[in-house]
Amino acid sequence: MTLQRNFEPDILGFLCNWCSYAGADLAGVSRFQYPPNVRIIRVMCSARVDPTIVLEAFIRGLDGIMVLGCHLGTCHYMTGNYYMERRMKTAKKVLKNVGLNPERLLVDWVSAAEGERFATLVKEFTEKVRKLGPLGEETDLELQQLRTRLFAAKEALAQQRIRWLVGRERELAEDKNVFGEKVSQEEFDQLMLQTIEKEFAKRRILLSMGEDALSVKEIAQRVEASPREVLKNMVSLERAGLVSVVGIEGNSPKYRRAGG
Amino acid sequence: MNEVRVGVFVCHCGTNIGGFLDISGLTKYALSLPNVVFAKDNRYTCSEAGLTEIKNAIAENKLNRVVVASCTPRTHEPLFRSTCKEAGLNPYLFQFVNIRDQCSWVHMQERERATEKAKALIRMGVARAVLLEPLEEIEVEVNPCALVIGGGIAGMTCALSLANRGFEVKLIEKDEWLGGTLNSLYKLYPTHEEASKWIRAKIEEVKKNPKIEVLTSSRVEEVEGFVGNYDVTVRQGEKDRLFKAGVIIVATGAETLRPVGMYGYDGKTVVTQLELERMLKEGGVDADTVVMIQCVGSRNEKRAYCSKVCCLNALKNAMLIKEANPDAQVFVLYRDMVTQGTKYEDYYGKARETGITFIKYSPERQPVLEKGSVRVYDEFLGDEISLLYDLVVLSTPMVAHPDSADLAQKLKVPVDDNGFFLEAHVKLRPVDFATDGIYLCGCAHWPADVGESILQAYGAASRASILLSVGHVKTEPLIPVVDEEKCSGCSLCELTCPFKAIHIEETEKGRKAKVIAASCKGCGACGAGCPQRAIIMSHFTDEQLLAQVIPLAGVMP
């Protein structure tokens, strides 16, 4: 992609009603000026922001997303911002897999009394995204490739395996499981990363196949991965009933997406 | 399905918006948007004239969605919602667009770009409005019975207050007798009344009240249900009893820190103020020189707070010692004497007049206890002095009751960093919890003296009696709706919800999530994490949110 001249980043902010949205209002009441690049969507709690919505926003071409909540420990709903933080952490990891700079997603905390802080955050984030350039500037991907990857990332975040892990993080990493075992934060992060990579790879495969019947080698070319990796994923996808073998060509099976 | 007809009202707000954005441009733009059949600008949309225009436009143009682009929903959404309601339109078919606080006021030097942003905001608002659905407020009956946990001065006052208004009260006390901390106190500041006489009368009053059932040696085992309809299991001795209560009041009090390992505390010649109190009650102290040390175990890294009552309590006990034995020497080693208000500053003055010596120390140079003497660096003298003593009295802070965390978990209410119960808002809702129908008073909340505890108890009783006397409660319908076809009964939502508002039930179709509408606060945390994406959040659905996710490039025609 080529750098646009006078690039003005297009940014959406998801703000919780009780703290950050009130903080944004206070910036207005206090007349703290900030660039008009950010538009705000109000949610009752930042925990309402499903990570797939963030991905969808990038698919639609937004250059940066802010998700702001109450400071930790002061959430109007007691624990909402902790959930948001964990979910967005996962969204950032997925963005990295896509090839995007995860800093395009800003997670931060603004209280109802921090109008000036909100204005500063917007200024700094707008500057940061301006430097990063239009979405995808940091990659070598064509727009269509980028969109496909983002789509795969969004699909991955919609998968129950990842959502389940995100939801259980606190329990798994802080408490013991039913067998009295405790997973360390590092172990959990490792597990999370592997799961994200696996889910992302599988979604990319599915999206790349379209309606075609393809061999592992052909798929591997499409997703730029090793045939060995792809084969592993094909077996798993077949088991999940998402692809089926529709024929054999030479020694290699041909796969097609199941159910359309 | 009826045709969606949106009306958009763009407010000048005098010059607050009109002075910085192109309002006629915005209005024209609004009219060009899909489904918008009416658009108009108003000098002040929130004025009587503006509201009338909305109502007329709803009737004349058969509007079934109303969008107001103006100040902020945080102040004006309720007003416009009720205007819609008056005009016969469901209030949840109203959509606010913030073009003042988050646009005209923050981009005052950029008319063109700010107007462009406002257009985008209006487009986002209209897109969401089209997808809005009518919702009805949820009404729940309130059981006219209160459960008060804790039979100290706060709990008893609260129970009496509610019973005297005619409501049934169950008063739960963990000890064998009522009275709480006041049972161990001797005299109360600043009047020096005897605590025991006074508390005995209170206990009698409670016991005689036909509306109050007292359960001593009892503990709350389990709490189920929601505002107006709590099911509480109380274990009394060996047997469990089940009560239904519309409201719950937490009045479990606090404990006094035992300063084990500090200043050679031994309970004999180095005692706490509470132990001194008992000695005074049982006939006085046999000591000619008494050294009191303030802020023992408080206002430090581990316990940052000031326990607030210890300064006055030390003054009182010091004066009582001087009263009994005018020749006794009493030293109070303090960091800051906290004696605010019109009554207590005088009380401090009175203590000084009796000849009590006050010595200021700093937290960097704490007093040191040596054999038979206390060494302290006097901040005002600028030198170290040594005080021989017969008795050392440590002023230790009130600390959260060790059972608080457990009770908090059962009630699903929060505690603060120090383990005290945490109110909904420190200034604006001091005796409410964020959870509806649960209130708090007394030292369970933070260190308080008798007067304050009573005040809070009156407050909590008053707050609780609103629900009890109205008899029903209305809650906003911003609740999750479970798609049972998709729900796998995994229980992640139940784990996520801090309000016990969603849980798993066995149904004919297997384990499914069920929403308890009256308990739900409408945050949406459950839905955004649901592995099966089986939870739809009313009024904040995925579709309604995504409708607003429009890139600026897609806005301009």
Phi-psi region of B57 (alpha: psi -120 to 50; beta: other; left: phi over 0): alpha
Pairing type for strands B247-250 and B438-440 reads: parallel
Residue in chain B closest to A69 (alpha carbons) equals B523
In A, which residues are within 8 Å of B103 by CB distance? 28, 36
Regions of chain A with pLDDT less than 50 = 1-2
Cα–Cα distance, A99 to A78 (Å, whole number): 34
Chain A residues with CB-CB distance to B522 below 8 A: 44
Contact A44, A20 (CB under 8 A): no
- Position A183 scores a pLDDT of 82
Q: Quote the pLDDT of residue A6.
A: 81
Asked if A53's CB is within 8 angstroms of B549's CB, the reply is yes
Q: Does A7 touch chain B (CB under 8 A)?
A: no
Mark the ranges of chain B whose per-residue pLDDT is less than 50. Answer: 557
Contact assignment for A167 to B525 by CB distance below 8 Å: no
CA distance B531 to chain A (A): 4
* Half-sphere exposure in the Cβ direction for B304 (13 Å, CA): 4
- Inter-chain residue contact A25 with B101, CB threshold 8 Å: yes
> Do B12 and B104 touch, CB atoms closer than 8 A?
no
Say yes or no for a CB contact (<8 Å) between A36 and B114.
Answer: yes
Say how far apart CA B284 and CA B290 lie, in whole Å. Answer: 13
Chain A 63-102, CB below 8 Å of chain B: which residues? 76-80, 83, 87
Distance CA B76, CA B80 (A): 7
CA–CA min distance B90, chain A (Å): 20
Q: Which of A22, A25, A33 sits opposite B109 (nearest CB)?
A: A33
Rounded Cα–Cα distance for residues B253 and B447 (Å) = 9
A179, exposed or middle or buried, with CB in 10 Å at 0-12, 13-18, 19+? exposed
Best probe of the A interface among B15, B70, B94, B101, by most A CBs < 10 A, is B101
Query: Chain B closest CA to A17's CA: distance in Å?
Result: 8
Closest residue in chain A to residue B524, using alpha carbons only: A48
Q: Chain A residues with CB inside 8 Å of B102's CB? A: 24-25, 27-28, 40
Bond from prior residue into B190 cis (ω within 30 degrees of 0): yes
DSSP letter for B501, please: -
- CA separation for the pair B537, A49 (Å, rounded): 11
pLDDT at B1: 53
Whole-angstrom distance, CA of residue B256 vs CA of residue B265? 14
Chain A residue with Cα closest to B541 = A48
Q: Which tokens is A252 given?
A: 């290699």
- A60/B554 touch (CB, cutoff 8 Å), yes or no: yes
- Give residue A1's pLDDT: 45
Closest partner residue to B523 (CB to CB) among A24, A45, A61 is A45
How close is the nearest chain B Cα to the Cα of A37, in Å?
8
